[in-house]
């Protein structure tokens, strides 16, 4: 019995790392195949426009809603933690600007998009896999990866525009919460917004957004395209894709911050 347990433990320990390596390799191969044998532009153009509408414009409502209240919470928490009267009140605007531009707009919004957009991508492609529509595309000589994934990648490159809106709405939410909540005057808040502003921080945020957009488009596509099973597995694949997309975003956020701001 002990011998069997040891064998099982050893097999498990060696099995999972190989699974992870195989998944990374499959993902890299998938990304390469996406750009091979492109679909005719006449067809691809309509696919791209549809994905922009579904992935970007369809997500603006939740992005605006979350950004507004995140900005307001940052401003209120900053104000409540300023207990020393010698600390200037313009710090509220400064902290709101830095928090929203550097982290909350690009990273927190991307985690939300990983849940909303990523689950949609995985479930839609996974459903096509279950109903054998992907096999039908392959039989017709269509590069199914290019047909399904490439429009999503192109559409998600418009994601920085959504992040720019999130920055504006987040700062606006902070201003409303700070001024109408009685924590700061409008002049102090605006002065804090202008204090030691570094334009490179906006560039850094947009670069992160582009990287995250590629991850949000491709990682869920991978989980949907290579899923196996029936309708029940589609839901499981959507959950797994959200987890791994979030993990990759968080890791890349750390790496990019270290490289660009370190």
Determine the average pLDDT of the residues in 128-138. Answer: 85
Residue 35 in any domain: the answer is: no
Q: What is the DSSP letter of 138?
A: H
Residue 150 in any domain: the answer is: yes
Q: Which residues, in sequence order, are CB contacts of 167 under 8 Å at separation 6+?
A: 67, 100, 101, 105, 202, 205
pLDDT at 8 over 70: no
Residue 24 in any domain: the answer is: no
Question: Please, what is the angle between helix 109-130 and helix 199-225, to 10°?
Answer: 20
pLDDT at 9 over 70: no
Residue 174 in any domain: the answer is: yes
Residue 231 in any domain: the answer is: yes
Domain residues for 129? 40-261
CA distance linking residue 44 with residue 162, whole number of Å: 23
CB atoms within 10 A of CB 160: 18
The domain tally of the chain equals 1
When the pLDDT of each residue in the chain is averaged and rounded to a whole number, the result is 85
Determine the average pLDDT of the residues in 82-87. Answer: 75
47-66 pLDDT, tens per residue? 999 999 989 998 899 999 99
Residue 8 in any domain: the answer is: no
Which of the four pLDDT bands, split at 50, 70 and 90, describes residue 18? low
Residue 3 in any domain: the answer is: no
Across 115-143, b (16+ Cβ under 10 Å) vs e yields bbbbbbbbbbbbebbbeeebeebeeeebb
pLDDT at 15 over 80: no
141-195 pLDDT, tens per residue? 888 888 889 999 999 999 999 999 999 999 999 999 988 888 888 888 898 888 8
pLDDT at 184: 82
- Residue 83: its H or E element: none
pLDDT at 254 over 80: yes
180-234 pLDDT, tens per residue? 888 888 888 898 888 888 889 999 999 999 999 999 999 999 998 888 877 788 8
Residue 10 in any domain: the answer is: no
């Amino acid at each position: 019995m002990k011998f069997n347990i040891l064998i099982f433990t050893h097999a498990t320990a060696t099995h999972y790392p190989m699974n992870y390596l195989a998944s990374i390799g499959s993902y890299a191969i998938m990304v390469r195949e996406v750009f091979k044998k492109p679909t005719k532009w006449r067809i691809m153009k309509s696919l791209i426009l549809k994905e922009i509408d579904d992935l970007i414009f369809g997500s603006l409502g939740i992005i605006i809603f979350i950004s507004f209240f995140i900005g307001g919470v940052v401003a209120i928490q900053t104000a409540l933690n300023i207990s020393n009267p010698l600390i200037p009140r313009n710090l509220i605007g400064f902290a709101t600007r830095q928090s929203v531009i550097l982290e909350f707009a690009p990273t927190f919004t991307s985690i939300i998009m990983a849940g909303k957009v990523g689950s949609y991508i995985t479930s839609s492609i996974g459903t096509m896999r279950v109903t054998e529509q992907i096999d039908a595309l392959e039989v017709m000589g269509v590069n199914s990866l290019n047909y399904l994934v490439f429009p999503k990648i192109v559409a998600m490159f418009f994601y920085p525009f959504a992040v720019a809106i999130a920055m504006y709405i987040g700062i606006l939410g902070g201003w409303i919460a700070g001024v109408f909540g009685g924590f700061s005057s409008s002049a102090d808040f605006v002065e804090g917004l202008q204090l030691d502003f570094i334009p490179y921080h906006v560039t850094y945020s947009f670069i992160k957004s582009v990287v995250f957009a590629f991850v949000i488009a491709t990682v869920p596509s991978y989980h949907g395209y290579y899923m196996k099973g029936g309708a029940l597995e589609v839901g499981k694949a959507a959950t797994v894709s959200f987890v791994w997309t979030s993990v990759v975003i968080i890791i890349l956020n750390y790496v990019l911050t270290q490289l660009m701001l370190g």
